[in-house]
Amino acid sequence: MRVLVVEDDRELGPAITAGLRTVGFAVDYAWCRADADLKVSVNSYDCVVADRGLPDGDVLGLIKVWRGAGRSVPVLVLTALGAVDDRVSGFEHGADDYLVKPFAMAELVARVRALCRRGQPPRLPVLTAGDLTLDVPTHRVRRAGVLLTVTAKEFAVLEALMVRAGEAVTRTELLESCWDEMSDPASNVVDAVIVNLRRKLGPPDLIESLRGVGYRLRGPA
């Protein structure tokens, strides 16, 4: 899942970005309204985490513009303003959630995950393909009942393949959903993760390579 963090604080912004990346999100970063507006116009995000007070204005005004333009991306607003009137104002401008500073990173992660799910079709908590199972809430992967150790990025790629099991998933689609704007489209990061997944999943190989296209997970989801 891909998230945009909008925060001008030079310590908090990178900390939020790093924390979300650690648990498997692909994260882009913006430091002002103009930068955020540009990124949202050219990229597809599952959620935006935005500080309310930015150098070039209140982010609520930008959210209102997005909603007026039909952009439905869920937005979590971060703010030091915790009064009821401030929260109500945020919701009236189109914000989906409100988190008052200071906050625990674990709570931010939980709220971001909930907002990301809100903007997507309902998914089963446990995905299966043959003897492979992927437990989304607990981030556990099992093959023939054996628990496997996978990284957050490997889990994200495997989930993307299992959601569309039996279908071709292009490298571009995997790159856009599991990585952020810092990734080089010409690099082999997708292929490297697939190699590691194949090694960890073991035989028989469930992931098919489609020359010039991408990959496909065998079997029904």
Give the pair of three-digit tokens for residue 142: 């099992």
Q: Are residues 20 and 107 in the same domain?
A: yes
Radius of gyration of the chain (CA): 19
- Kindly indicate the confidence band of residue 24, based on its pLDDT and cuts at 50, 70 and 90: confident
Domain stop point among 90, 118, 146: 118
Average pLDDT in the chain: 87
H/E run at residue 219: none
- The domain total for the chain is 2
Q: Are residues 157 and 106 in the same domain?
A: no
Q: Are residues 13 and 66 in the same domain?
A: yes
Q: What is the pLDDT of residues 59-77, one digit of tens each?
A: 999 999 999 898 889 999 9
Helix ranges, the chain (H): 12-22, 33-42, 59-68, 84-92, 105-118, 152-163, 171-178, 189-201
Report the alpha-carbon angle 75-140-209, nearest 5: 90
Task: State the Cα–Cα distance between residues 26 and 5, nearest whole angstrom.
Answer: 11
Q: Are residues 139 and 35 in the same domain?
A: no
Domain stop point among 87, 118, 149: 118
Q: Are residues 110 and 20 in the same domain?
A: yes
DSSP annotation of 25: -
- Evaluate if residue 220 carries a pLDDT over 60: no
Q: Are residues 79 and 16 in the same domain?
A: yes
Per-position b or e across 117-139, b if 16+ CB within 10 A of its CB = beeeeeeeeebebeebbbebeee
Domain stop point among 93, 118, 143: 118
Looking at per-residue confidence, does 28 or 125 come out higher? 28
Amino acid at 214: G
Q: Which CATH number is 50's domain given?
A: 3.40.50.2300
Which residues form the domain of 132?
126-217
Beta strand pairing status for 97-100 and 75-79?
Answer: parallel
Residues 54-60: contacts with CB within 8 Å, 24+ apart? 54/6, 54/8, 55/8, 55/31, 56/32, 57/33, 59/6, 59/33, 60/89, 60/90, 60/93, 60/94, 60/95
Q: What is the pLDDT of residues 136-182, one digit of tens each?
A: 878 899 999 999 999 888 998 999 999 888 899 988 888 877 877 65
Q: What is the pLDDT of residues 5-19, one digit of tens each?
A: 999 998 999 999 999
Q: What is the pLDDT of residues 74-100, one digit of tens each?
A: 999 998 876 777 777 888 888 999 998
Q: Are residues 104 and 206 in the same domain?
A: no
Q: Are residues 103 and 138 in the same domain?
A: no
Q: Which CATH number is 168's domain given?
A: 1.10.10.10
- Evaluate if residue 51 carries a pLDDT over 90: yes
Region of residue 141 (phi > 0: left; psi between -120 and 50: alpha; otherwise: beta)? beta
Q: Are residues 186 and 114 in the same domain?
A: no
Q: Are residues 164 and 202 in the same domain?
A: yes
Q: Are residues 43 and 142 in the same domain?
A: no
Q: Are residues 32 and 83 in the same domain?
A: yes
